[in-house]
Amino acid sequence: MRRLSNIFKLCFLIACLWGCKETVDTSARYVFRDDTILSYLEKHDVYSSYVDVLRQVNISKLSDSKVSQLLSARGVYTVFAPTNDAIQKYLEYLVEDGLISEPSWDAFPSEHKADSIRKVIVYNSIIDGGDEADAFFYTTQFPQDKDEFILGCLNDKKLTVRKPANKPDSIYINEDCPVSVKERDILTINGIIHQIEKVIAPKDISAASYIQQALDEKRDGFLACFRVIQACGLLDTLRAIRDEKYEELYQTGQIPDLVGMASSYGFAEGEIGYAPKHRLYGFTIFAEPDDFWREQGIDPAGPDLLKELTQWILDNHQYSDDDHFTTDENYESEDNLLYQWITYHILPMKIPKGKLVFHVNEYGYNLSRPDVYAIPVYEYYVTMGKRRLFKLIESRTSNGVHINRFPITDNGRQGTGEEIGCDPKKVGSLVDTESPLAVLSDIANCNIYPISAPISYNDETRNNLQRERIRFDGMSLFPEAMNNDFRLKKASEERYKHVFIPNTVRHYNYLENMQQNSEMNFVYYNAWNDDWCNLHRDEMKAVGRFEVMFKLPPVPRRGTYEVRYKVLANSKRGVAQIYFGTDPEKLPVAGIPLDLTMDCRNDVTAKLVGWEKDTGDDDYDAEVDKKMRNNGYMKGPKSINSNDGTERDYNDRENIRHIFVRQTLDPNETYYIKLKSVLEEERKEFYMDFIEYCSKDIYDNPEKPEDIW
């Protein structure tokens, strides 16, 4: 099991390492062929305090082995090693904080408290690269400014990087821990060392505590937003950091990893589905800064802020005419206008800067040039409070991620798919990831982004959403995937590639928006380095006589919609009956069983579906699409591309969209989809990539047919 792998590493002693022939990057500033990280640190007195601490801290609760032993064994580690002076200054800070009376290890009131501080120093200073041969980080491989490392530290937290624009050689970890300019990129047998001049000790505080501190200090920046959050009674919700019940089950071995995947899933021999180590909660707050409110004539610190904001929302029509709300001072009521307005600013997941949207395999994009964007990419999420749609989007020309932006795209059959313009009224609100106001590492369970313009779920937003096809990735349904850092993790090691979601019945209901039966095992496949023609490449899979149910996002307006299910078909898949409706206990059948094996490589199937490869004759190709639609099918979208040299796009015979519902949907209803195997076979797969909502105004528009993107 992966959770014990660090202990197994200790079997490789230093003597064994000296006998190995290692290939080392000779371009590094320092190369120590005969040193492990520990032996290097031991040879330099400047790290003597750090070495002492390493020798006293256990690898985990399940092991008596020390971290010093870990750093003397084979492995791939990035170590941010604090100097003696950095550790002494940290002890002095603890004196100022009232934890100890003098800056000495002897001053701690108990050994337990001293041990907890040692763990802070050690666990936040080491990133374990696992089994990847080169999974350590030179400074040239550090993330972009204000972004986080791909891998978490031993404390299971992501460290962030700050690179001041006016100081090109300066690098800070978690905002204020400077990396030494001279003592960095020190390569050893089992990893790399960067000297730091301040102990990395993130404050493990909740969003509720952070907001309360800001309110107590009357801290400018987001004072208006925080006062509204407090008045609406949301601090209790924002206090949640982790599911302690799950922690107990995992630590005591009651949440197992999934073994035997090779026989069950057709993957490589020995592959394992690793259960998440935690079940963390998270939030993202998108907030108008205080300066915006001053421009509106509202004082964020004023005594009448709540009443003035309520009036501003009314005056500026920041609501929908279909909404039902009150405007009294009972702000904690979900019917209150201010409550409805502020909860539209909060998502129930902590989204880092680099995952606001995902650039992976969209048309025209190549991972070898990650900063060169192409067509718009987007995510649809469901907000806190009343369930409403929230759109994030970024394109080549948008100059950043925006909320509820609705651009004009070159979406003809021979078009580029790129954004070619945007109505000034539909530009949306820029998410400012570079502002000093952005809070990206100070809070354990929340990120806070300033935004350039006010946001609300008003009629204009809802109308614009209804006028576009709403394609949502299956994993966007599950905040837990983002909060626990396994959705599209940019790492190919096995522990990140196959994530086993504990069974709802047998283990624990890990994903709140999903229910599964006891006869299936559910795996999230993070296909980061696999060139698969899925939206974002990743997919959800299960094997067995599956029965799985998902809670779906709301539609923006009442109307007739098609609901579509995209399949990348192959012979391993199963056949599923779909159920769709509002009562999860009594979902009606939706259409005929969905054959997940059906692709159009077989000429008989292609004829049955109506599939033909595009000819370049737009009129003829449009008729082919109509024929497919009449049979209940569509080709896969042109917006998803493949970089493997094959034709894996609109003409891919395996990519099929199944139209399984065409009916009136209501934004005030919660809809569920259930897929149940109709086969008795034990080895057939469930598969899910994305689902679409498409309103009748789009799919049945006589003047402007639905685009192929």
Could you tell me the pLDDT band of residue 420, with boundaries at 50, 70 and 90?
A: very high
Cα torsion angle, 28, 31, 33, 38, sign: negative
State how far the alpha carbon of 62 is from the alpha carbons of 30, 68, 83, 457, in Å.
35, 16, 29, 48
Q: Return the pLDDT at 6.
A: 43
* Nearest Cα to Cα of residue 136 among 200, 189, 208, 197: 189
Q: Return the pLDDT at 670.
A: 97
* CA distance linking residue 226 with residue 312, whole number of Å: 17
**Is residue 227's pLDDT more than 60?**
yes
Task: Give the position of tokens 């609406």.
Answer: 232
* Nearest Cα to Cα of residue 77 among 150, 120, 134: 134
Boundaries of every domain in the chain: 2-196, 205-241+280-468, 470-699
Q: Return the pLDDT at 98.
A: 92
* Nearest Cα to Cα of residue 142 among 154, 159, 118: 159
Q: Which CATH class is domain 470-699?
A: mainly beta
Phi/psi of residue 477, nearest 5 degrees = -75, -15
Q: What is the pLDDT of residues 200-213, one digit of tens each?
A: 998 889 999 999 99
The reported pTM is 0.89
Mean of the per-residue pLDDT values of the chain:
90
Q: What is the pLDDT of residues 58-101, one digit of tens each?
A: 998 777 899 999 999 988 999 999 999 999 999 999 999 999 99
- Contact call for residues 684 and 543 (beta carbons, < 8 A): yes
**Is residue 335's pLDDT more than 80?**
yes
**Residues above pLDDT 70, as percent of the chain:** 92
- Mean pLDDT of the 405-415 span: 96
- Contact call for residues 319 and 456 (beta carbons, < 8 A): yes
Fold of the domain spanning 2-196? FAS1 domain (2.30.180)
Q: What is the DSSP string of 357-380?
A: S--SSBTT--TTSTT---S-EEEE
Phi/psi of residue 141, nearest 5 degrees = -105, 5
Same fold, 205-241+280-468 and 470-699: no
Q: Identify which has the larger pLDDT, 168 or 196.
A: 196
Q: For the chain, what is the radius of gyration of the CA atoms? A: 27
Enter the tokens of residue 227. 């006062």
- Contact call for residues 614 and 647 (beta carbons, < 8 A): no
Residue type for position 30: Y
Q: Return the pLDDT at 531.
A: 79
Architecture of domain 205-241+280-468: Roll (2.30)
* CA distance linking residue 630 with residue 609, whole number of Å: 9
- Contact call for residues 47 and 125 (beta carbons, < 8 A): no
Per DSSP, 275 falls in state P
Q: What is the pLDDT of residues 129-174, one digit of tens each?
A: 887 656 899 999 999 888 899 999 998 889 999 998 888 889 999 9
- Contact call for residues 342 and 231 (beta carbons, < 8 A): no
- Mean pLDDT of the 105-125 span: 96
Output the CA angle 141-146-148, nearest 5 degrees: 55
